[in-house]
């Protein structure tokens, strides 16, 4: 390990030790001591007129004092409770020394109120106040965040509860908001610079001689050698799960690190509604509450038929409403482990303040597979790749770098059938020569019935997208007038990201006619999940449940996956369309959808 890596690893061990010792609470009065979820007080604002102020505040999460970006002095910002049918005005005053903004994530609203500087308005200049005015036309769990620079990473995010006109179709006795996020003491631009220098800068779990020996004992020497050689020829690593890890991140619940143990109270037998929001900049979480079954009742604010599970994965920017019914007079741990298992966020459900429950061990670290490389099911070297054993075979052309695969058939796929006519498509062979592309999936597939990397535990049922069925009829978008295909692309050596091999600066707007029904077909050619968000619209997710397709605002696209989303372009304007991994968006994975 290099001296730099050793230093960073030591810092992480210090942070973990601090959390285990409960020392964070003794390091001053951090902002998070003021945040109380949905408890009465200044942390909850409601009504048709609301005033917010964005400013810097000192914060101490890890033992080092830093400055953060807060709303009304809070991180997360205050919970906004708004009512469907109301016309709201929200005054946002900028007390920073730089421009700022607030985007209302998942809201249906006029384009000028969407809050994207340079696209829908100029931004809020220092010392100025901007008033957002829009009607509330939906209900459910949503959130807000900055769309200016890296302010979302430094604390500018908060929950929004849009209350329905009528009673919810499910009963509950009390509710809490659970905001998951990630915090780094580093300057976010330094994080980007580190990744530009070395794409796996924060990945300390590379395979070593020790893991080679372990793999040999498990799979045999020839199979292990073939597997390692293949990954080496492709210049990629199966341990690349998250770009930014617990090496620099501390994972938070409602702004608090694990040691602070944010606690929600209940009485035995009550039905408790937990509104989970992933406000992280770069972190996917796997959530469970040991000892409690979970019932999923809404996804991205839209109600779904109840689904009973033991755990669920929540991608960046997604929300899930979950009902639990704890019957015992005890504490339960709300456990949200990062997808790459380098850390976790933790809170507690309890009958009395001060109680806690054991924190479970994190699951084993996942590894990427050939399916994640877009190679599952391909016939290579006379062998069919299927199942979990994809080693020890003649990989043939699959061992060649992506830029030498131009002669291979890369148009496969089983999900989101694209019509031969009336479709805007990109020839995947044309992507292989672009400097911003280091891999093109040879075969893509519908993976919405798969739980995702690291979630195949047989003793737990995991929510998958294929489980989601809309509760309310009549919301599904009609058949699409046109299909537009996008390849999600990246280059780990350059650490650049984009659509169809182009960064935002290299691509023009996506033209959509007002009133047109459009299917976006998303093809993930990278080894990373990408939570893709379309501003201004809710889309029908094509997950196989025809007639009951769920509405979402963000879809977490797995590696090697091909998925379709359909929306009605009924609101004119320039709408953002991007990956919600903040650093991916900032380095190019962003487009403009022009509806006119």
**Within 13 A of 171's CA, how many CA atoms are on the CB side?**
5
Going from the C-alpha of 481 to that of each of 519, 548, 554, 579, the distances in angstroms are: 8, 20, 22, 24
Sign of CA dihedral 512, 517, 519, 520: positive
DSSP 3-state of 586:
helix
Q: In what order do the strands lie in the sheet containing 157-163? A: 44-46, 79-83, 157-163, 140-145, 103-105
Q: Give the contacts of 147 (CB within 8 A, at least 6 positions apart).
A: 101, 102, 103, 115, 116, 117, 576
Q: Give the contacts of 86 (CB within 8 A, at least 6 positions apart).
A: 48, 135, 136
Start-to-end CA distance of the chain, whole Å, equals: 55
DSSP 3-state of 426:
coil
Q: Phi, psi (5° rounding) for residue 99?
A: -65, 155
Q: Give the contacts of 450 (CB within 8 A, at least 6 positions apart).
A: 464, 558
> Residues 75, 68: contact at Cβ < 8 Å?
yes
Closest by CA position to 473, among listed 411, 370, 375, 545: 545
> Residues 242, 338: contact at Cβ < 8 Å?
yes
Return d(Cα 121, Cα 237) in angstroms, integer.
41
Return d(Cα 392, Cα 409) in angstroms, integer.
23
> Residues 260, 25: contact at Cβ < 8 Å?
yes
CATH class of 369-596: mainly beta
Tokens representing residue 112 in the block: 């000028």
Q: Phi, psi (5° rounding) for residue 567?
A: -145, 155
Return d(Cα 419, Cα 535) in angstroms, integer.
26
Return d(Cα 72, Cα 56) in angstroms, integer.
10
> Residues 138, 301: contact at Cβ < 8 Å?
yes
Segment holding 499, helix H or strand E: strand 496-499
Closest by CA position to 37, among listed 87, 82, 78, 84: 78
Sign of CA dihedral 373, 377, 378, 380: positive
Q: In what order do the strands lie in the sheet containing 530-534? A: 510-512, 590-595, 573-579, 530-534, 554-557
DSSP 3-state of 194:
helix
The single-letter DSSP state of residue 369 is -
DSSP 3-state of 108:
coil
Peptide bond into 76 cis (omega under 30): yes
| pLDDT score of 206 | 55
> Residues 116, 145: contact at Cβ < 8 Å?
no
> Residues 247, 118: contact at Cβ < 8 Å?
no
pLDDT in tens, 488-532: 999 988 899 999 999 999 999 999 999 999 999 999 999 899 999
Return d(Cα 497, Cα 578) in angstroms, integer.
10
Q: Do domains 3-166 and 369-596 have the same CATH topology?
A: yes
| pLDDT score of 214 | 54
DSSP 3-state of 501:
coil
Length of the chain: 596
The CATH architecture assigned to 3-166 reads Sandwich (2.60)
Tokens representing residue 49 in the block: 């007129």
Domain residue ranges of the chain, discontinuous segments joined by +: 3-166, 369-596
> Residues 175, 274: contact at Cβ < 8 Å?
yes
Return d(Cα 87, Cα 135) in angstroms, integer.
4
Q: Which residues of the chain have pLDDT under 50?
A: 1-42, 207, 209, 212, 224, 228, 231, 233, 378-421
> Residues 484, 521: contact at Cβ < 8 Å?
yes
Rg (CA), the chain: 23
| Residue 48 CB neighbours (<10 A) | 12
- Per the DSSP assignment, residues forming a β-bridge with 234 are none
User: CA torsion 25→27→31→34, rounded to 10°?
Assistant: 40
């Amino acid at each position: 390990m290099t001296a730099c890596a050793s230093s960073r690893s030591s810092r992480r061990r210090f942070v973990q030790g601090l959390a285990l010792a409960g020392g964070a609470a003794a390091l001053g009065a951090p902002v998070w001591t003021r945040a109380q979820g949905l408890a009465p007080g200044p942390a909850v604002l409601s009504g048709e007129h609301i005033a917010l102020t964005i400013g810097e505040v000192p914060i101490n999460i890890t033992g080092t004092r830093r400055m953060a970006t807060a709303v009304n002095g809070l991180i997360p910002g205050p919970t906004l409770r708004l009512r469907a049918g109301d016309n709201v005005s929200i005054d946002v005053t900028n007390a920073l020394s730089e421009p700022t903004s607030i985007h209302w994530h998942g809201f249906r609203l006029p384009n000028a109120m969407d809050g994207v500087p340079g696209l829908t308005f100029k931004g809020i200049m220092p010392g100025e106040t901007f008033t957002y005015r829009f009607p509330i036309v939906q209900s459910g769990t949503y959130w807000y965040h900055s769309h200016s620079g890296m302010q979302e990473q430094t604390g500018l995010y908060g929950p929004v509860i849009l209350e329905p006109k009528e009673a919810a179709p499910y009963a509950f006795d009390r509710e809490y908001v659970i905001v998951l996020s990630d915090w780094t003491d580093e300057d976010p631009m330094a994080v980007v610079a580190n990744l530009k220098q070395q794409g796996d800068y924060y990945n300390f779990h590379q395979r070593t001689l020790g893991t080679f020996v372990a793999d040999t004992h498990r799979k045999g020497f020839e199979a292990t050698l073939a597997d390692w050689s293949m990954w080496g020829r492709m210049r990629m690593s199966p341990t690349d799960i998250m770009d930014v890890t617990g090496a620099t991140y501390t994972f938070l619940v409602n702004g608090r690190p694990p040691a602070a143990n944010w606690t929600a109270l209940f009485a035995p037998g009550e039905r408790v509604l937990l509104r989970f929001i992933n406000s992280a900049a770069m972190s996917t979480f796997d959530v469970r509450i040991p000892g409690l079954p979970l019932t999923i009742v809404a996804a991205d604010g839209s109600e779904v038929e109840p689904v009973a599970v033991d755990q669920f994965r929540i991608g960046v920017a997604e929300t899930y409403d979950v009902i639990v019914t704890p019957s015992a007079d005890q504490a339960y741990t709300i456990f949200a482990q990062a997808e790459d298992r380098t850390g976790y966020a933790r809170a507690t459900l309890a009958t009395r303040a001060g109680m806690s429950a054991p924190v479970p061990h994190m699951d084993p670290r996942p590894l990427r597979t050939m399916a994640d490389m877009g190679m599952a099911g391909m016939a290579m070297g006379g062998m069919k790749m299927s199942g979990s054993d994809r080693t020890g075979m003649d990989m043939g052309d699959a061992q060649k770098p992506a830029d030498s695969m131009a002669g291979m058939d890369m148009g496969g796929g089983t999900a989101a059938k694209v019509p031969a006519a009336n479709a805007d498509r990109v020839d995947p062979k044309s992507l292989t020569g672009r400097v911003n592309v280091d891999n093109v999936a040879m075969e893509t597939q519908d993976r919405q019935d798969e739980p995702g990397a690291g979630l195949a535990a047989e003793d737990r049922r995991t929510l998958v997208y294929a489980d989601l069925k809309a509760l309310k009829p009549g919301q599904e978008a009609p058949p699409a007038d046109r299909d537009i295909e996008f390849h999600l692309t990246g280059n780990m050596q350059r650490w650049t990201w984009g659509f169809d091999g182009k960064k935002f600066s290299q691509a023009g707007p996506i033209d959509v006619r007002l009133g047109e029904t459009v299917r976006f077909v998303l093809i993930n050619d990278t080894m990373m999940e990408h939570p893709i968000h379309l501003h201004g619209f809710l889309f029908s997710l094509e997950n196989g449940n025809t007639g009951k397709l769920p509405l979402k605002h963000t879809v977490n696209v797995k590696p090697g996956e091909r998925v379709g989303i359909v929306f009605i372009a009924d609101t004119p304007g320039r709408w953002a369309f991007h990956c919600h991994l903040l650093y991916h968006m900032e380095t190019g994975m962003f487009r403009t959808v022009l509806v006119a």
